[in-house]
A and B are shown apart, each in its own frame.
Chain A
Amino acid sequence: MDHETERSAGGVGLPPSITVAVRLVVNGKPHDLALDPRVTLLDALRTHLGVTGPKMGCDAGACGACTVLVDGRRVNSCLMLAVAADGKSVVTVEGLAAGDDLNPLQEAFIRHDAFQCGYCTPGQLCSATALLREGVATTPEEIRLWMSGNLCRCGAYPNIVAAIAEVAAEGVH
């Protein structure tokens, strides 16, 4: 793991760096890693743990495709260093369903065809999950405002908003 970490994060021409011990509890399962401090939470999830639901879009905190829940709060995992998430609970899109049983939000996304290419969907689902817990938005206008950290450019917004509004109205989250 150490050797692999240094090679993948150090890049060509850069000296190998000192790794830091990090424990991430991802979707309920603890993982002990030794990571170059440059590794973002997104890279730790995707590259080191094979949890590929969170997507890398802009890699600058602007698109929301990498959104995950850290200790229950939605964050951009591309801007959080994995070492700074040490000891924290991380929930990705893979952790939203109970096995093969999708949750009401995921069912609503399917029902409303709230996808186009689907690349942004994992981040949209994590963000919407947090939104429902935050309880700040129920009207379409409020949902758009509070989902604005997930910039989907494919025009699926109306269906995403409809799916979230439906689950918000059911109050089952």
Chain B
Amino acid sequence: MNPFTYQRASDATGAIAAVAGDEHAAFLAGGTNLVDLMKLHVMTPSRLVDVNAVPLAKIEASRDGLRIGALARMSDVAADPDVAREFPVIAEALLASASPQLRNMATIGGNLMQRTRCPYFRGDGWACNKRMPGSGCAAAQGEHRNHAILGASDHCFATHPSDLAVALVALDAVVRVRGPAGERSIPLRDFHRLPGDTPHVECALQQGELITGVDVPASDVAINSRYVKVRDRASYEFALVSAAVALKVEGGVIADCRIALGGVGTKPWRIPEAEQVTRGRPAAASTYEAAASIAVAEARPREQNAFKVELARRVVVHALTTQGSTR
């Protein structure tokens, strides 16, 4: 690890002021991703501002929806009875993430900020436009079985690794942010950026802006939601493909539907076109097949990750079928 100075913040204002004026400063929350990447010299902040003592860990469910503090731990959110009952896709996505030890450490805000698991990003000595802008992309000619089939550019096709973000984007979550200029809200669908020709610019946050929480609006579909994750082993592994779905079925007809994919996109991947095709149609296999085909219609796979197109299609059908049949 490179040397850095360390300071503890007791409130958000102090933390933001300490990071805002220093482009080499970073917030430390759970640290599970940041400390790992600092050991690898992928992230090299010269100043860490520890925000763990900032009071932002509340989990509150109300008639308006769910409000999760940015410093709530993944394990606590997953175990929250209101979350498990009214927003099952969130609890399921969290419990499908990482390990119990990591979930005890990692925070909700940090989860949204985690970096890709692309081995060329994590490994020094490889070309990576995300780690070293302009150096190229070693994955294009190298190992890319786990890489994205949606949202890629010639400069980068690394996947976004979060399960939680896939569940949250399906439920129209909003990220609450506070910075030197005050507070603002960013819909999660706009929070993560497509790589384009600037893959190192990964999200909408400005230097010094601190995620203070995530709001999930109340909806008819959230209570009938689920998360399906397919991976190379049964637990403690990142997704090859995952799907967050939510359905509202009335009299055998789909009134509302949400579909988002993980493991296949360069950001958490919501698919409004696939959702749209289901509305007003019967909650039946033909509808789910139609939605799933649209979900992967824009896929642009490469040699090693071509299998993800069919896998993603089947995961969407499976998630919708099992969720639809519970109504």
Q: Which residues from chain A sit less than 8 Å from chain B, CB to CB?
A: 10, 14-15, 17-18, 20, 36-38, 40, 59-61, 64, 67, 73-76, 79-81, 83-84, 86, 127, 130-131, 134, 144-146, 148-151
Contacts and interface: CB of A to CB of B under 8 A. Distances in A.
A20 B6 contact: yes
A127 B6 CA distance: 29
The 9 lowest CB-CB distance pairs between A and B, nearest first, are: A149-B99, A37-B6, A148-B235, A148-B236, A38-B1, A149-B101, A73-B104, A17-B3, A76-B101
Interface in B217-257: 234-236
A144 B235 contact: yes
Q: How large is the interface on B (under 10, 10 to 19, 20 to 34, 35 or more residues)?
A: 20 to 34
Interface of B is mostly: mixed
B3 A84 contact: no
B31 A64 contact: no
A5 B175 CA distance: 40
Contacts of B102: 61, 76, 79, 149
Contacts of A18: 5
Nearest to B235: A148
9 contacts: A18-B5, A38-B3, A67-B101, A79-B35, A81-B35, A83-B6, A127-B100, A148-B235, A149-B99
Interface string B1-40: 1111110100000000000000000001001100110010
Given A76-B105, A79-B32, 4 more contacts: A75-B101, A80-B105, A149-B102, A151-B236
Contacts of B104: 73-75
Contacts of B28: 81, 84
B35 A80 contact: yes
B48 interface: yes
Nearest to A64: B101
Contacts of B99: 61, 64, 148-150
Contacts of B31: 79-81, 84
A9 to B, nearest CB: 9
Contacts of B101: 61, 64, 67, 74-76, 127, 149
Residue from A36, A37, A134 having most chain B Cβ neighbours under 10 A:
A37
Interface of B: 1-6, 8, 28, 31-32, 35-36, 39, 48, 50, 52, 75, 98-102, 104-105, 234-236
A79 B4 contact: no
A74 B3 contact: no
Nearest to A67: B101
A76 B32 contact: yes
Contacts of A14: 2-3
Contacts of A73: 75, 104
A161 to B, nearest CB: 13
Contacts of B48: 37, 81
A83 B50 contact: yes
Contact of B105 (A36, A60, A75, A83): A75
Contacts of A38: 1, 3-4
- Give the interface centre of B39, B50, B104, B235 by most chain A CB atoms within 10 Å: B104
